[in-house]
Amino acid sequence: MGCGLRKLEDPEDSSPGKIYSTLKRPQVETKTDTVYEYVLLDFSLEGSRPTVQCLSSLCDLPQALQPYYTQGYVLVTLHPIILSVGRTRALPFSLLYRAILGPPQGGLLLLSKQVVPMCHNVPVLRVEEWPLPGDSLTSDTVRALIDRVNSRARGGVRFVGSVLQPLGGGAHSCNGRGHSPRRGCRSPPRTPRTPPRTPPGDRDPEETGYSPDLVLLVLFHSWAPGCAPLESLTCCYHQGALSMRVSRKGQVVSALEADWLELTASYYRKGWSLVDSFVYWDTPKGEPVPRSLEGLFVYEERSPAPPANDTIVVEQWTVIEGSDVKTDYGPLLHTLAEFGWLLTCVLPTPIIRHDSEGNLATKQVVFLQRPVRGEARSQRSQTGRRTGAAALRGEMTGRSVSRGWAWPPGPRRTWQRARGG
């Protein structure tokens, strides 16, 4: 009698992904004067992936990406590929990260597929380590973090994103403290003490006399004195609600549903950009398992305000075969780049399963934006703006997407659009 491979989670659907947008599909595929180009790089902190570059720490990311910065690319977003939240032990590839590089906003544009430098001030990527008290994120902690991001932004730097890591569980300190993230070299258990009352990361943990349980690696772009672009000197950051309905198996999140358009529509209409997200995936010990999860989006506001944005949100399965990523959002991202869609954020989720071939699969949510075009803006002024809730009641079709979308091979996708915006 044979023994099949146990699935981590049953698939919530058989499609490789779903798309939500404020536009009809023909409008999404309309050419613009702006064409982007993206580079997707995977890094391992484990050192055992033969086809993936190894880093001893994410603090080494600026050096690893420097060759791309000299070519005009900058880091757009960084995210872990696998989240093991709610599981008793870390899953394979838990130390695998995806860095996505693209053109700086207002920096490098690809017009008619020809590189046109519009700004010669190449930024420098900096990684800061902000220790956090406690064993999970809270809304108060995140608000304090956003306040500190704004404090840093007033100094002329630009916020790129953040990555949360547990100390003693593979995090290597950017300040030279800590241990290598390779497995088997974990730090001894830490005994938390009373945290200071100062905002997270404002003081060195060795000075405060407490040992943090978590560390937030915060990514910024900075420029030489007097060389920062004007738009970077006028950036400020705001929080926005992030709520999801979830299904669970025990402590493990097995499926999620969110009104992505409703959550983000009002911010995109202001011309703001979504740059980061914080989700409180963990359930505190002793508390009932919730049917919904809360978090915060972080939006960037620039002055003067740019035009309103349309948006695309993609729920995408990433499949890992052996040591390599077999299927992900890459082909879709490259195709949308041809139509002027700018990637702003990728939200990893702890939804994980094995596919029919035994490969590990996990779901990510990808956010893109593009300025509202004149025709669409005129239509909106005549018909009025509908709420995201109404948008989510837009039509759904089961038709195959045209070849122009360059989907990975697999079952048909579902396209969901907003009526109006």
Asked if residue 40 is part of any domain, the answer here is yes
pLDDT for position 301: 94
- pLDDT tens string 211-261: 457 889 999 999 887 776 766 667 999 999 999 999 988 888 889 999 999
Domain span at residue 292 reads 17-182+197-392
**Within 13 A of 321's CA, how many CA atoms are on the CB side?**
6
In angstroms, the CA 156 to CA 135 distance is 32
Short-list 6, 5, 8, CA closest to 250: 8
Asked if residue 123 is part of any domain, the answer here is yes
Does 141 have pLDDT greater than 80?
yes
pLDDT for position 15: 56
In angstroms, the CA 139 to CA 146 distance is 11
pLDDT for position 251: 80
Asked if residue 1 is part of any domain, the answer here is no
Asked if residue 53 is part of any domain, the answer here is yes
More confident: 233 or 327: 327
In angstroms, the CA 352 to CA 318 distance is 10
Asked if residue 283 is part of any domain, the answer here is yes
Asked if residue 5 is part of any domain, the answer here is no
pTM of the model: 0.78
Average pLDDT of every residue of the chain: 74
Domain count, the chain: 1
Give the residue-averaged pLDDT of 162-190. Answer: 52
Which distant-in-sequence residues (6+ apart) come within 8 Å of 154 by Cβ?
A: none
> Over pLDDT 90: what percentage of the chain?
42
Asked if residue 11 is part of any domain, the answer here is no
Which distant-in-sequence residues (6+ apart) come within 8 Å of 392 by Cβ?
A: 20, 259, 261, 262, 416, 418
pLDDT for position 90: 67
Asked if residue 239 is part of any domain, the answer here is yes
Which distant-in-sequence residues (6+ apart) come within 8 Å of 172 by Cβ?
A: 45, 56, 57, 58, 59, 178, 179, 180, 181
pLDDT for position 168: 55
Does 99 have pLDDT greater than 70?
yes
In angstroms, the CA 19 to CA 96 distance is 25
Short-list 284, 399, 307, 296, CA closest to 347: 296
